[in-house]
Chain A
């Protein structure tokens, strides 16, 4: 709450139309790639006038390479920017260290599960700027050539697998899917069974639900529905789709910008993640990024204002309509652009729908961090490669979880 003199000053400022901040410079930073186009576009095309009116100059410093390391080093050395990206994957390490200022703006328009993802100790520390979830992206031409029905929203794991096997049989040089032995993709299948990464006591239990998803995912290669991405000379399933080595890819909406560069003429279709045939439910993983104000910033109020402007409905609509990212504001879920028939519009719409799948979990693993995924990734890898059987791999993964989580207590 502002004090009386401050309120009077603010009112006078508004009446006189003077800038709220006396020519303050705010340093902002995020990672490179397509994000540079998003932030530069917002700053020059959408927010230039508003920022000038507020008397704020923004210095944008995109960083290529490991951004979390850049921020950790910058924060510990006192050289970090005033406003910066936090990925849900590592945001907790910044929040718990007291390096982020709590968000004070009105956040009622944002998706609740995204806000929850950036809440620590009951306080919100980042304004969600966008999000992503997994979907099935497919090359319609390959399915046409193979005379196989397109994947659909009604597909279960089994029906999708059957379609992929049929594609590979009809077109032996094409595989159904490039699988990666990573929780970041497999997790959506495990979640759809009703399995949860952490139980009520904070333990990870690889139960029979998990086993069902594990057997399905690791069996994709053996059944002829998939190939390991590395065996196809690719590091991710989107690379296989772009090179027409695979008929489908399980990725987020980030695949759109990758395909725009590497396969601009692809006849792309996108449908929701397949359902678990037993539970009839869908699972998904949410990846989200937010803007956080540096707790040590000397211009924290101006930085918070920039965060607010960068995530207004107008700003997010511009980003959405450029096909660059999905909005974190729920009001934009009905944006007319999303109802369009262009592949990137359909893909964005389907990915947005993924946020309301039956079992959705954020891509975040508490205090343990990314090392939580290692036992699962190692088990997936060794079983897909045929080095050990599922029983041995999962027993080893379970004992790794038991040791890991015992250490946390």
Chain B
């Protein structure tokens, strides 16, 4: 027996357990789902072939169209925001010299909480007169103070940097010492104006419906914007770790060489960090798309805390049809919707791979 055929057989033996589980739990399941998507089936009576009726019913079902729109909007928003934030956090943590371990641990904490526990905490934070409303309320009440702080801070920083550049070359606009001085100066200015009664405080008794509302903001229901915030908060830390691993594998010699060539921090980030992280970014974006298109748990836990149309996603629509409250199961509709979700996921990942972030550079 040749060495090659022996190796080939070993290879097959190694993949056999996974092949069996794939065949049972994926191939068999998907074939059954495809079969049921063409059938009228309620879990009990024998499935009857109905052709494309389930797909036709999906297209004419308003809730399905809402779920489709919600899912696509949610996926684009969350994938984009979580990727950018995770990269920014990874860069920040990678540079934090002091207490780096502590910072990483603190940033990673939201990811070790269970999704159910996190959703319940957010349900409390998102009450109409809860914590999130309190933040908005404070920002609105002190909007003049906040505006004056930023204007004062920018002006002071500008004056300090321009003044320093007259004497020394290469003073950064983000010089940390000047930033501290500018912040203290701006705070003093706001405090003085506030005490002099020059800045009015706006009374408001806000009640914001973060979850229990049918309002829309831009392309998505407000409820799903709140769920997106919750989802980003819990997912970003894991993605940050992936980026961090990628950052630490970039040779520091590249940055040293670029610095000698006169590249500034942004140019180093743009031309070294971003291209070197391309394989990690591809993985992060792909996982993000798959995870967000299949969003289920957080909207399911919301339950009656939000109207169905404001929180329904495709994955939840599948569940709603498989186990409708007080009615017979519509397995045909659920299967058709599940297949649409599967095909949509594959298509979006393929489109992303073709025209979005690629695994390797050109």
Residues of A participating in the B interface, judged by any CB pair closer than 8 Å: 66, 68-69, 72, 75-76, 89-90, 92-93, 96-99, 182, 228, 230-231, 233, 235, 364-365, 367-371, 374, 377-378, 381-382, 385, 387-388, 403, 407
A-B contact pairs, 11 of them (CB 8 A): A72-B43, A90-B327, A92-B328, A93-B328, A93-B329, A367-B328, A369-B327, A374-B308, A381-B307, A385-B213, A388-B214
Given contacts A72-B323, A365-B326, contact A97 B42 (CB under 8 A): yes
A388-B128 Cα distance, complex, nearest whole Å: 17
B127 touches A233 (CB 8 A): yes
B129 touches A378 (CB 8 A): no
A385 touches B212 (CB 8 A): yes
A382 touches B62 (CB 8 A): no
Q: Which residue of A lies closest to B60 (CB)?
A: A407
B128 touches A231 (CB 8 A): yes
- The 8 closest A-B CB pairs, nearest first, are A369-B327, A370-B325, A369-B326, A97-B44, A370-B326, A76-B43, A93-B328, A90-B326
Q: B127 contacts which chain A residues (CB < 8 A)?
A: 230-231, 233
Q: Does B309 contact A (CB under 8 A)?
A: yes
Q: Which residue of A lies closest to B320 (CB)?
A: A371
Q: B305 contacts which chain A residues (CB < 8 A)?
A: 230
A233-B123 Cα distance, complex, nearest whole Å: 10
The CB with the most chain A CB atoms within 10 A, among B209, B305, B323, B326, is that of B326
Q: Which residue of B lies closest to A182 (CB)?
A: B304
Q: Does B324 contact A (CB under 8 A)?
A: yes
B134 → chain A closest CB, angstroms: 14
The CB with the most chain B CB atoms within 10 A, among A92, A93, A231, A374, is that of A93
Q: A89 contacts which chain B residues (CB < 8 A)?
A: 325-326
A97 → chain B closest CB, angstroms: 4
A75-B45 Cα distance, complex, nearest whole Å: 12
Interface of chain B, helix or strand or loop or mixed?
Answer: loop
Q: Does B32 contact A (CB under 8 A)?
A: no
A335 → chain B closest CB, angstroms: 32
Q: A93 contacts which chain B residues (CB < 8 A)?
A: 42, 326-329
Q: Does B100 contact A (CB under 8 A)?
A: no
B307 touches A97 (CB 8 A): no
A377-B303 Cα distance, complex, nearest whole Å: 13
Given contacts A97-B45, A230-B128, A231-B207, contact A381 B214 (CB under 8 A): yes
A367-B326 Cα distance, complex, nearest whole Å: 8
Q: Which residue of B lies closest to A295 (CB)?
A: B44
A281 → chain B closest CB, angstroms: 27
Q: For chains A and B in complex, what number of residue pairs have CB atoms within 8 angstroms?
A: 86
The CB with the most chain A CB atoms within 10 A, among B43, B127, B128, B308, is that of B43
Q: Does B215 contact A (CB under 8 A)?
A: yes
Q: B44 contacts which chain A residues (CB < 8 A)?
A: 75-76, 97-99
A49 → chain B closest CB, angstroms: 38
A386 → chain B closest CB, angstroms: 9
Q: Which residue of B lies closest to A374 (CB)?
A: B308
B332 → chain A closest CB, angstroms: 14
A99-B45 Cα distance, complex, nearest whole Å: 10
Which residues 195-212 of B sit at the A interface, judged by CB distance below 8 A?
A: 207, 209, 212
B326 touches A382 (CB 8 A): no
Given contacts A72-B43, A97-B42, A381-B307, contact A369 B324 (CB under 8 A): yes
Which residues 303-345 of B sit at the A interface, judged by CB distance below 8 A?
A: 304-305, 307-309, 323-329
A10-B212 Cα distance, complex, nearest whole Å: 61
The CB with the most chain A CB atoms within 10 A, among B57, B215, B323, is that of B323
Q: B62 contacts which chain A residues (CB < 8 A)?
A: 403
A374-B320 Cα distance, complex, nearest whole Å: 13
Given contacts A231-B129, A233-B127, contact A381 B327 (CB under 8 A): no
B320 → chain A closest CB, angstroms: 8
B328 touches A96 (CB 8 A): yes
Q: A369 contacts which chain B residues (CB < 8 A)?
A: 324-328
A182-B207 Cα distance, complex, nearest whole Å: 21
Q: Which residue of A lies closest to B305 (CB)?
A: A230
Given contacts A99-B44, A382-B214, contact A370 B307 (CB under 8 A): no
B128 touches A371 (CB 8 A): no
A371-B323 Cα distance, complex, nearest whole Å: 11
B235 → chain A closest CB, angstroms: 27
Given contacts A97-B45, A230-B128, A377-B307, contact A385 B327 (CB under 8 A): no
Contact residue among A75, A364, A365, A378 (Cβ-Cβ distance under 8 Å from B214): A378
A365-B309 Cα distance, complex, nearest whole Å: 20
Q: Which residue of B lies closest to A385 (CB)?
A: B209
The CB with the most chain B CB atoms within 10 A, among A68, A69, A381, is that of A381
A72-B329 Cα distance, complex, nearest whole Å: 9
Q: A98 contacts which chain B residues (CB < 8 A)?
A: 44-45
Q: A365 contacts which chain B residues (CB < 8 A)?
A: 326
B212 touches A381 (CB 8 A): yes
A270 → chain B closest CB, angstroms: 26
A388-B215 Cα distance, complex, nearest whole Å: 10
A230-B213 Cα distance, complex, nearest whole Å: 12
The CB with the most chain A CB atoms within 10 A, among B62, B129, B214, B309, is that of B214
B18 → chain A closest CB, angstroms: 26
Q: A371 contacts which chain B residues (CB < 8 A)?
A: 324-327
B74 → chain A closest CB, angstroms: 20
Q: B326 contacts which chain A residues (CB < 8 A)?
A: 68, 89-90, 92-93, 364-365, 369-371
Q: B324 contacts which chain A residues (CB < 8 A)?
A: 369-371
Q: Which residue of B lies closest to A96 (CB)?
A: B328
A45-B339 Cα distance, complex, nearest whole Å: 53
A258-B153 Cα distance, complex, nearest whole Å: 56
A75-B44 Cα distance, complex, nearest whole Å: 8
Q: Which residue of A lies closest to B328 (CB)?
A: A93
A69-B209 Cα distance, complex, nearest whole Å: 31
Q: Which residue of B lies closest to A364 (CB)?
A: B326
Q: Which residue of B lies closest to A87 (CB)?
A: B326
Which residues 44-63 of B sit at the A interface, judged by CB distance below 8 A?
A: 44-45, 57, 62
Q: A72 contacts which chain B residues (CB < 8 A)?
A: 43, 323, 329
A230 touches B212 (CB 8 A): yes
A66 → chain B closest CB, angstroms: 8
The CB with the most chain B CB atoms within 10 A, among A98, A230, A367, A369, is that of A230
